[in-house]
Amino acid sequence: MPLTRLFVNSTLSAGADLRLEKDQARYLGRVLRLGHGDTLRVFNGDDGEFHATISKITKDSVAVHVVSPIEAGTESPLKIHLVQGISRGERMDFVVQKATELGVKRITPVLSQYGVVKLDKTRAGKRQDHWQSVAESACEQSGRIRPPLIDEVIALNTWFGARPAEAGTDLILRPGAINSLASIPTPATKVCLLIGPEGGFSDSEYDDAQVAGFQPVALGPRVLRTETAALAAISVAQSLWGDLAS
């Protein structure tokens, strides 16, 4: 039977008992068809990962007994912050899912001048919750124990003005840029990757990024779709400076 890993919103420690309901109970009982005595792994992003056993299962709930902690080594030593122009439909879900699998620590969804997605405050909050759920599911599949933080949706120019002054390497993807990712020195602490939506960034947004300290870099001679660019940039960064290099 494949290994079952589950993200839970509960404090975890050896000997604790959890009660899972709604979607998680249906997933374990009806989709995976697990039963009393079956084993799984649980994690919450803060306390690590634990072996656990199903102690009771009903139609609407599952009781889980937490057994013992597990040593995990799946978090990348490279801190990647992805600032992603919001794209349409499932493209943004795809970016969040794959960025999580590739080890990104934080994702900031931004609205930009050429972006086609428009979100009011209510819809933006719902999308943020949805993307966080996508990230948690990607952690279950990939073996990660800490889902990336998904920030609130924010306008790009507002984010430039609000972001704290932090030491790190700030890069913006720009077709035709002189420098490549491979030419960038190894980041001392973290790397922030700024990637545009389907229509790319405007000239004024590129100018604002330069004022904010972002260095333009290119990913080869071809123009990539926004979701391709995000995953290619993260993969190259992890290969150069992160845990894909080892």
Q: How many residues does the chain have?
A: 246
Q: Which candidate, 159, 168, 167, places its Cα nearest to that of 208?
A: 159
**Domain limits of the chain?**
5-70, 79-241
Residue 82, φ and ψ in degrees, nearest 5: -95, 120
**pLDDT digit string, tens, across residues 196-219:** 999 899 999 999 999 999 999 999
Q: Model confidence at 74, in pLDDT bands (50, 70, 90)?
A: confident
CB atoms within 10 A of CB 97: 19
- Angle CA 89–86–242, to nearest 5: 110
- Angle CA 243–244–246, to nearest 5: 70
What is the rounded distance in angstroms from the CA atom of residue 151 to the CA atom of residue 149?
A: 6
**pLDDT digit string, tens, across residues 59-69:** 889 999 999 99
The answer, as to whether pTM is greater than 0.85, is: yes
Whether the per-residue pLDDT at 164 is higher than 80: the answer is no
Question: What letter represents residue 21's amino acid?
Answer: E
**pLDDT digit string, tens, across residues 124-150:** 999 999 999 999 999 999 999 999 999
CATH architecture type of domain 79-241: 3-Layer(aba) Sandwich (3.40)
Q: Are 139 and 7 in contact, with CB atoms under 8 Å apart? A: yes
Compute the average pLDDT of residues 177-197: 93
Indicate the fold that domain 5-70 takes in CATH: Ribosomal Protein L25; Chain P (2.40.240)
What is the rounded distance in angstroms from the CA atom of residue 3 to the CA atom of residue 39?
A: 9
Question: What letter represents residue 8's amino acid?
Answer: V
Give me the DSSP letters along 177-214: -S-BGGGSPPPSSEEEEEE--TT---HHHHHHHHHTTP
Q: Percent of the chain beyond pLDDT 70?
A: 98
**pLDDT digit string, tens, across residues 5-23:** 999 999 999 999 999 988 8
Which 8-state DSSP code applies to residue 165? -
